[in-house]
Amino acid sequence: MNRSVASSIRTLVGRSSVAQAAYPHLVKGRLGTERWALSLLERGRSASRPTTPSKRARIVAYHSIGTSAWGVNDVTPADFERHLQIAVDDGWTFATPAEVLARPAEQLLAITFDDGVATVLDNAVPVLRHHGVPATMFVVTGWADGGHENGYAHVLDWKGVTALQDAGMTLASHSTTHPDFGKLSVSDARRELETSRERMRTMLGLDTVEFAIPFGQSANWTAAAQQAATEAGYTTVYAQSVGTRPQGTVARTFITSFDKPLVYRAALGGAFDNWEEWY
């Protein structure tokens, strides 16, 4: 059901990469339309259920909190606070990803962030600390080394990453240069995975065994990459949607700039479990 609605919207709005490059606002509009349409369907379904549906433990994935240049992956600080309040109001208990994996039938919610964006330290950490909410940051080690195209205007350097660690955040790997692992040779994949882990050991004194796939869609990962991750010492690999994630990976629900209360509640309720952010 979800997929057919989403694909109908795709057909209506068009999906050529040329159109996406030429009309980013059109792409953004289409992505938002899909998210709202699926949310309304989810609301209709939950309204027709005789009793409250059972929730399952969930891991949500954010990127920036107040970096508008991050586009659909940016959530405003006000919306982020609203999301935490909605989770509390709706009966979720904040937990770590490990707790979510250990107790999947409980209404547990783990908060994660990708990319090491500076506004997470500025805008999310104070709120998370104030309320004692655990969170995980997946760091692109080459970006912390200065390799991001926008430099440190957008992402944290090691001092900033260390500040996340000092604030109690769990840190894990999001690769060395944020490549598409779906297109990498096995040797390049291995280098990305090993170098990132090694760099975190050197700069943070941390031996992480958790890895989040850059871009996170099913096409961005392969069985060979999964094997390389295991050989590099990672025990948990985080992907995207419940229904389409590659074998052996852990699902996360991506949260977007469109996620006002209706959409956010739908996301927690599972409306996007067969939907991948494709932007």
d(Cα 39, Cα 187) in Å, to the nearest integer? Answer: 41
Q: Between 61 and 271, whose beta carbon lies closer to Zn ion? A: 61
Q: Between 214 and 269, whose beta carbon lies closer to Zn ion? A: 214
- Closest distance of CB 219 from Zn ion, Å: 15
d(Cα 122, Cα 120) in Å, to the nearest integer? Answer: 5
| Residue 276 binds Zn ion, judged by CB under 5 A | no
Contact window for Zn ion (CB under 5 A) among 12-20, 79-87, 106-114, 184-192:
106-114
- Closest distance of CB 82 from Zn ion, Å: 23
- Closest distance of CB 177 from Zn ion, Å: 11
CB 56 within 8 A of CB 251: no
- Closest distance of CB 47 from Zn ion, Å: 35
Q: Between 158 and 215, whose beta carbon lies closer to Zn ion? A: 215
d(Cα 10, Cα 106) in Å, to the nearest integer? Answer: 35
Tokens of 96: 């770590």
Instruction: For residue 269, give the 3-state DSSP assignment.
Output: helix
- Closest distance of CB 160 from Zn ion, Å: 16
Q: Distance between terminal CA atoms of the chain?
A: 21
| Residue 114 binds Zn ion, judged by CB under 5 A | yes
d(Cα 176, Cα 178) in Å, to the nearest integer? Answer: 6
d(Cα 116, Cα 140) in Å, to the nearest integer? Answer: 7
Q: Would you give the binding string for Zn ion spanning residues 205-244, x where CB under 5 A is met? A: ---------x------------------------------
Q: Between 9 and 255, whose beta carbon lies closer to Zn ion? A: 255
Question: Quick one: which H or E segment has residue 159?
Answer: helix 158-166
Contacting residues toward Zn ion, per CB under 5 A: 114-115, 214
